[in-house]
Structure 1
Amino acid sequence: MRTVGIIFFVIAATALSAAAEPKYKVPAVYVFGDSTADVGNNNYLPGNDAKANFPHYGVDFPHQTPTGRFSNGYNGIDFLSIHMGFKRSPPPYLSIANKTHSLILKGLRGVNFASGGSGILDTTGSTVTMAKQVQDFAALKSIVASRLSLDKANYLLRKSVFLISSGGNDLIGFFSATNSSPTAAQVGEFYNAVAANYSNHLKTLYGLGARKFALIDVPAVGCCPFARSNHPAGACIDGLNDLAKGLNDRISLALSNLTSELPGMKHTIGSSYNVVMKIVADPLIIGYKDVKSACCGGGKLGAESSCSPSTAFCVNRNEFLFWDRIHPTQATSEFAGLAFYSGSLEFASPINLKQLVEDA
């Protein structure tokens, strides 16, 4: 109870002072998802859950700190939070118990529940599944409602943004389980299962008061160094990309249906798929010299061994699409964050995050 009790002060402080600090464009940000959104939750998990709390992760983060972000610096959630007026992502849920009341009352605004390795399906990866993340948020909401009043809590949540970045681990797990050759029937069942589970998670959050949803879709994982390293010529794995594109289309349809069904629900989907494919097709658009290799790692394309204190890492990190064999560099996340926040329909639809934030 101490963790949930302390987190109450995060939300209470947000609700009571939101109007007094206009630099924040929304009262709070709540984050759910996998390693593309994790800012340190997995640091607190025992066992073999994916972690990034060691060098060379964080080499470009303030004070060269490995925070648990799967990046050389900030990740995409940090940049989206910055565009909404915050310093960076809200803190990891599992870290709050280590903070004092005085620090929390200085203005932490929201919580990050994301866990590296997790997925939309309960059978995917991390012990902190999407369902568990939503359950943790529900527990937090019940404490807040009992202390602030239900009306104040719901007002806060209606105006806040719920960021979700997930699905890649589900896709990779499915592709592997079907020996990289799924049948059409298997693909259809997979799409339906993911879309149904995703819809259920969003409905639960909606029932808890969420109204503004910002989803980040599944990237072109077939072009990441890990996938390319399994191709004789180091090319993208088209089968993986086709699967990702189909899954994104299915989730987009599910979101449109939900928005029509649930009064007051609004959403944006940032297309990490289109961002990656845009950069791969034209690296010079942001001055990249390498869109195939991992900046940190070892072996073919830097992808045959994971980024670790014992592996090499590049010095020209702003010229690489990928930091490790799966995750983007800070430079890529910055580019993507801007595209999702204020970009065209190619990168964010049906509206961008800026429009979602400004929609009353």
Structure 2
Amino acid sequence: MEARITKSAFIVSAGTNVFVLNYFALPERRKQYTITEYQDFLVQNTRNFIQALVDLGARKIGVVGVPPIGYLPLVMTLSSDNRTLLESYTELAKEYNQKLQNELQRIMNNSSACPGLQVVYTGIFKALLDIIQNCTKHGFEESRRGCCGTGLMELGFLCNLNTAVCPDRSKFIFWDSIHPTDKTYNLLFLAFRDIIDKIAKGN
């Protein structure tokens, strides 16, 4: 089993849901942590998770940062489209991504005890922001709401066989209020295909 894990490539998504749903949408976390403390809390949890993978034998790990949070349909809806607030959310996402990259670099700097370890940051922020801000250039018509339901609040299980969807999802950047459509995911994949190949090959 360990040999199979060692040969495998792992992709870790670290942060989007816990910022949007656990921190910004709900008050409990904000009572416990300042945003800076919460960023540090998440970075440490991500480090612990990566270390657990390494302890199991993982040696090829890609870590995906968070997107421009202020541009997600759910966040725009919850913030009543307050552009200043939304830009601050996006800036916080950028700060978190930098902290995450710094931590991953520290892991690699101290990886001498784990020959062959490769922990690579995969940034989704710039690529998705470019798609959103240059919507029509990438062949989309709708960037502010998702294809499912109203496209403003629905996500996950709220998008199901009983939920109305848009007639052509290829025109939408988002499938629901957080997750991109398959077309958007394909564009994101192409944006960092070289990094994913590097992780998979262990180069």
Which band: TM-score by shorter chain? Answer: 0.7 to 0.9
In the alignment, the residues of structure 2 paired with residue 256 and residue 271 of structure 1 have an alpha-carbon distance, to the nearest angstrom, of 14
SS of residue matched to 1:241: helix
Deviation at 1:325, TM superposition (A): 1.1
Q: Are the aligned partners of 1:297 and 1:325 in contact in 2 as well (CA < 8 Å)? A: no
CA RMSD of aligned residues (A): 2.5
In the alignment, the residues of structure 2 paired with residue 205 and residue 192 of structure 1 have an alpha-carbon distance, to the nearest angstrom, of 20
TM-score normalized with structure 2 length: 0.83
Work out which of the two has the higher radius of gyration on C-alpha atoms and give 1 or 2.
1
User: What do the CA deviations read for 1:295-344 (whole angstroms, capped 9, x no partner)?
Assistant: 1112xxx31454344432112211110001111101111111222222xx
Candidates 63, 66, 77, aligned match of 1:218: 66
Q: Which residue of 1 aligns with 2:184?
A: 332
In the alignment, the residues of structure 2 paired with residue 297 and residue 221 of structure 1 have an alpha-carbon distance, to the nearest angstrom, of 21
In the alignment, the residues of structure 2 paired with residue 192 and residue 175 of structure 1 have an alpha-carbon distance, to the nearest angstrom, of 16
User: What do the CA deviations read for 1:126-163 (whole angstroms, capped 9, x no partner)?
Assistant: xxxxxxxxxxxxxxxxxx3xxxxxxxx33x33332011
Candidates 256, 278, 285, aligned match of 2:130: 278
Deviation at 1:191, TM superposition (A): 1.8
Q: Which residue of 1 aligns with 2:23?
A: 174
Q: 1:240 to 1:179 in 2, by over 3 A?
A: farther
Q: Which residue of 1 aligns with 2:199?
A: 356
Q: Are the aligned partners of 2:152 and 2:176 in contact in 1 as well (CA < 8 Å)? A: yes
Q: 1:309 to 1:327 in 2, by over 3 A?
A: same
SS of residue matched to 2:25: helix
Q: 1:233 to 1:250 in 2, by over 3 A?
A: closer
> How many percent identity over aligned positions?
25
In the alignment, the residues of structure 2 paired with residue 234 and residue 333 of structure 1 have an alpha-carbon distance, to the nearest angstrom, of 27
Of the two structures, which has the highest relative contact order with CA contacts closer than 8 Å and spacing of 6 or more? 2
Candidates 240, 261, 284, aligned match of 2:110: 261
In the alignment, the residues of structure 1 paired with residue 139 and residue 123 of structure 2 have an alpha-carbon distance, to the nearest angstrom, of 21
Q: Which residue of 2 aligns with 1:292?
A: 144
Q: Which residue of 1 aligns with 2:11?
A: 163
Q: Are the aligned partners of 1:168 and 1:221 in contact in 2 as well (CA < 8 Å)? A: yes
Q: Which residue of 1 aligns with 2:86?
A: 237
In the alignment, the residues of structure 2 paired with residue 271 and residue 288 of structure 1 have an alpha-carbon distance, to the nearest angstrom, of 22
SS of residue matched to 1:313: coil
Give unpaired runs (5+ residues) of structure 2: none
Aligned length: 194
Q: Are the aligned partners of 1:171 and 1:243 in contact in 2 as well (CA < 8 Å)? A: no
Q: Are the aligned partners of 1:297 and 1:308 in contact in 2 as well (CA < 8 Å)? A: no
Q: Which residue of 2 aligns with 1:303?
A: 152
TM-score normalized with structure 1 length: 0.49
Give unpaired runs (5+ residues) of structure 1: 1-143, 145-152, 343-351
